[in-house]
Amino acid sequence: MFRFESLKVFDESIIFSTEIYRITRDWPKSEAYGLTDQIRRAAVSVSLNIAEGSSRTKKDFGHFLDLSRGSCYECVAAMKIAKANNYLSPEGYTKLYLKCEQISKMLSSLKNSVLKL
């Protein structure tokens, strides 16, 4: 087992990206290379940065966790755009927003604990 596979935040980020993929399947085809692609890449980037960073030094891992958190923020911006264009319902937006918020807090906590080791 790789170190990142035991992290709860990694599991949550996989659940989040899976949900993003599910929801964006129904978005307009005209967004396939625009907003759909952008939010999918940002969502996937959360877990990929956790995985890659876990193979590095503590300082580098902290940097990758920051990148992962930045991808969460990018998802929130994309979700706001999707909601404004009625691709995402207010309820769907709130559910995903809360998940991003949870993941972001978990990433901050993990970074703090890693850098204290």
- The DSSP secondary structure of 71-103, one letter per residue, reads HHHHHHHHHHHHHHTTSS-HHHHHHHHHHHHHH
**Segment 18-37 mean pLDDT:** 97
The answer to whether residue 98 scores a pLDDT higher than 90 is yes
Q: At 43, which CATH number?
A: 1.20.1440.60
State how far the Cα of 100 lies from the Cα of 94, in Å rounded to an integer. Answer: 10
Q: Could you give the number of structural domains in the chain?
A: 1
**Segment 56-72 mean pLDDT:** 97
Give residue 70's domain range. 3-116
Crossing angle of helices 8-24 and 58-84, in 10° steps, is 30
**Segment 55-67 mean pLDDT:** 97
Q: Is the pTM above the cut of 0.75?
A: yes
